[in-house]
Amino acid sequence: MDVNWRLFMAGASLFLGVGVNGYLLSMEDISGVEEGSKQLIRAEDPLRISYVKAERENNMKTFGLDDAKAKAAAKKVQDLEDQNGERLAVLLREAGDPNQLADALCGETQDVRPRYGALRYIVSLEKGRRQVVNLRRISGIEAQEWYLLSPVGEVYRDAELLDDRQPDATVMAIASILLNKESELLDHNAPWGRGITGQWSWDKVKKENAGVEERVIEYLATMHLLIELAQAEGGLCDG
């Protein structure tokens, strides 16, 4: 009798243990799903950009510029091409590390897209200020050291790959990098924030940082021309 009772109690304890563990495991799984829903939901760039002359203005709008500024940026690309296009094409062919340059400009990796990869080559650090290089003055296309210290990839992922991506995400992200304010965007501080209280606002960024829109346009125009030439037939990315 005692033996049967002990067997019964052992079986009951085992049953209860399995039940409790199963419940805890199910709660752990649910928690994991909830946490995962707050993470990146895109594995690929949401923008499909064709870096060709005919798409310049449309691309500028896709990056987040309004119609008037997109038109001005497209004109800036044309001016840069007229003044520096042939020379820039030569500099691309003569680049010291073509493989590294191709990784940045050719779009073969999802880690950092060309519109961000170009930062490494056409933005220099002058007296603590990040500024677009003057194409007339450069003697080569060289990687800039500041880029290695900037969380460019994190900025791209945070601004562009989250489920609540904003239409002006690219201009906001580029602005944060040019201004050396990546941490403001990554910490979601206003006006780089998220949601209703985050106050994500390109207008406020422009208001608080005089001249930033012109700097962003200068970068986007120079970047577009550089990538056009790199991805053109016979260019760095061809073959």
27-43 pLDDT, tens digit each: 333 233 333 444 556 77
158-171 pLDDT, tens digit each: 999 988 899 999 99
48 in any annotated domain:
no
Measured distance between the N- and C-terminal CA atoms of the chain, rounded to whole angstroms: 84
Give the chain's mean pLDDT: 86
When divided into structural domains, the chain yields a total of 2
45 in any annotated domain:
no
- The model carries a pTM of 0.83
Domain limits for position 27: 1-39
Residues 120 and 193 in one domain: yes
- pLDDT at residue 16, as a whole number: 43
Give 194's DSSP letter: -
185 in any annotated domain:
yes
146-159 pLDDT, tens digit each: 999 999 999 999 99
Residues 167 and 76 in one domain: yes
Residues 160 and 224 in one domain: yes
125 vs 5: CA distance, rounded Å: 81
70-111 pLDDT, tens digit each: 999 999 999 999 999 999 999 999 998 999 999 999 998 778
194 in any annotated domain:
yes
Q: Which helix (H) or strand (E) holds 154?
A: helix 152-160
Please give the sequence-ordered ranges of beta strands (E in DSSP) within the chain, or none if there are none.
Answer: 123-126, 129-132
Q: Say yes or no to pLDDT of 3 above 60.
A: no
10 vs 129: CA distance, rounded Å: 73
Residues 33 and 131 in one domain: no
CA distances from 153 to 116, 184, 220 (A): 8, 15, 17
Residues 6 and 74 in one domain: no
Q: Which residues of 138-160 are buried (b: 16+ CB within 10 A; e: fewer)?
A: beebbebeebeebebeebbbbbb
- pLDDT at residue 195, as a whole number: 60
CA distances from 170 to 111, 155, 212, 222 (A): 15, 10, 14, 15
Residues 123 and 165 in one domain: yes
177 in any annotated domain:
yes
Residues 119 and 21 in one domain: no
Residues 137 and 185 in one domain: yes
Q: Would you say 217 and 57 are in contact if contact means Cβ atoms under 8 Å apart? A: no
- pLDDT at residue 39, as a whole number: 52
Residues 110 and 57 in one domain: yes
112 in any annotated domain:
yes
Q: Say yes or no to pLDDT of 175 above 80.
A: yes
47 in any annotated domain:
no
Residues 64 and 178 in one domain: yes
- pLDDT at residue 37, as a whole number: 40
Mean pLDDT of 177-195: 93
Residue 124 pairs with which residues in a beta bridge? 131
